[in-house]
A = this chain, B = another copy of it.
Amino acid sequence: MFSKACEYGIKATIYIATNSYEKKRVSLKEIAKEIDSPVAFTAKILQDLVRHQIINSVQGAYGGFEIEKHKIPTIKLAQIVNAIDGDKIYSGCGLGLHTCDEEHPCPVHDKFKIVRTELKDMLENTNLEELALDIKSGTSFLKI
């Protein structure tokens, strides 16, 4: 569904958020360990998220990644996915047609539209806060 980069990006952002509630800045190494991802590859993804202004980075000793506390409830899952994978998951034709709309639909256009709209709504209505709070409370998990 999502690329590996996007999976890592979502998990990393959630992990950073859980720590940002306690104003704790987390390092790349710690993130990669906690979400069980390759360190250097994760670094690239985090840089991407910084450029997209979803997370903040602080260079140098005692640096790391963080998210402004007040921003956590406003960040939607859709923004993270969009920053890394673009919007191809819920836009574009399910069968790869260049033109696919009501006038010129692919064979699965209508059926796909329902599923994809639901996916899009889900991503746009899920915010980082609820995901982070579930991790903090031990209701959900970032690895294994």
- A34 part of interface (Cβ distance < 8 Å): no
Smallest Cβ-Cβ distance to A132: which chain B residue: B107
**What are the residues of chain B within 8 A of A135 when measuring CB–CB?**
107
Cβ contact within 8 Å between B1 and A105:
no
A96, B6: Cα distance in complex, Å: 10
- A119 part of interface (Cβ distance < 8 Å): yes
Which residues from 125 to 144 on chain A have a C-beta closer than 8 Å to any C-beta of chain B?
126, 131, 134-135, 139-144
- A61 part of interface (Cβ distance < 8 Å): no
Smallest Cβ-Cβ distance to A6: which chain B residue: B95
A111, B108: Cα distance in complex, Å: 23
Smallest Cβ-Cβ distance to A130: which chain B residue: B107
Taking each of A77, A134, A139, A141, which has the highest tally of chain B beta carbons within 10 Å of its own beta carbon?
A141
Size class of the contact patch on chain A: 35 or more
- A7 part of interface (Cβ distance < 8 Å): yes
Cβ contact within 8 Å between A115 and B114:
no
- A69 part of interface (Cβ distance < 8 Å): no
Cβ contact within 8 Å between B118 and A11:
no
Cβ contact within 8 Å between A142 and B94:
no
- A39 part of interface (Cβ distance < 8 Å): no
Mask: chain A, 1-45; 1 = CB below 8 Å from B; 0 = not: 110100100110010000000000000000000000000000000
A52, B131: Cα distance in complex, Å: 40
Cβ contact within 8 Å between B140 and A126:
no
